[in-house]
A and B are shown apart, each in its own frame.
Chain A
Amino acid sequence: MSDDEKEGGFDNLGKFAWEVVKANRPKVNVSADYVNAIPKGAEWNDLTAPAGTNYQKWKWLGPGLILHDFEFVMQLSWTYGARYRGGGAYITNATVTVNDYDVGIGGYDIDISCRIGNIENFGSERAPIPAIPIDVTLKWSNWLSAGGGTNRFKVYGHGDYSAYYDDDSYEP
């Protein structure tokens, strides 16, 4: 076993940062960017096919208790369970997509962006399970106000995930 494998090191061969909407003129970039976590130094050929694709969908509703000024239907998907030399469980792809959206009146500027945190080993040295933190942040502003929030995900190589909405994370 190499030092990288002992450390549970992972490579991320993807990139993951984009803007979705600006100034009420949506430029939706669907599935264009991605992240992955495979054994450090490994080639794609060293991995088996993933076991499957999991997903979590959510709807982002703009301010307004009755009328919502905008709405985004989002999805995080991740392929899990790829094996390396018969073991471990690696993520070969994770993407955030905008499945649908509706930006009403209100003169909003809306940004949706993604950030990847440090990939950690949730498993053991001999059975690594990468855990990828993925923050998806929505920011909105118009002449009257501004706000936002972040969905904080962590997806795991064996298929599991965690998620919570941090609505105190907004920074202008």
Chain B
Amino acid sequence: MADEPELAEGAESEWVTHLQNWLQSLGFYNGTIDTNFGPVTAEAVAQAQQQYGINENGTVGRETWALVEQARAVSEGSKAQVVWEDSQVNQVEVPEIGSEEATA
């Protein structure tokens, strides 16, 4: 999982915008979407963590990121994905049964 930073009240970054968008889609956040992790955002984070049993005490860490991302993905109908990787597919000619006996 990834590069999401740990965030707490007072943080300012584009990750806060992502966080607010996700919290809004989950119904926890009704404030302005910006880059500031203010008290309204902190309250929304606390509500989400309480509802889903995450013990990060208002800090947005790995568990919270995973939760909001998972919920968002499900709300968008995300499914498990398959990524095809390398293969080896050699083939052989197929003689008729008895052909070797006939030529032997």
Contacts and interface: CB of A to CB of B under 8 A. Distances in A.
B23 to A, nearest CB: 16
A140 B80 contact: yes
B71 A144 contact: yes
Interface string A54-92: 111111111111111100010000001101111111000
A59 B80 contact: no
B2 A66 contact: yes
B69 A127 contact: no
Contact of A167 (B63, B79, B86): B79
Interface string B72-104: 111010111111111111111111111111000
Interface residues of A, number: 56
Contact of A67 (B2, B90, B92, B101): B2
A61 B92 contact: no
Contacts of A96: none
A148 B80 contact: yes
24 contacts: A51-B90, A52-B90, A54-B87, A59-B85, A60-B81, A60-B82, A61-B83, A63-B70, A64-B70, A66-B69, A69-B70, A84-B97, A85-B97, A86-B101, A87-B95, A88-B94, A88-B95, A105-B63, A124-B96, A126-B97, A147-B79, A148-B80, A157-B94, A159-B92
A127 B79 contact: no
Contacts of A87: 94-100
Given A157-B94, A158-B92, A67 B76 contact: no
Interface residues of B, number: 38
B11 interface: no
Interface of B: 1-2, 4, 62-63, 65-66, 69-74, 76, 78-101
Given A67-B65, A85-B100, A106-B66, A158 B91 contact: yes
Contact of A58 (B2, B73, B85, B91): B85
Contacts of B96: 87, 124, 126-127
B79 A63 contact: yes
A104 interface: yes
Contacts of A138: 80
A40 B82 CA distance: 35
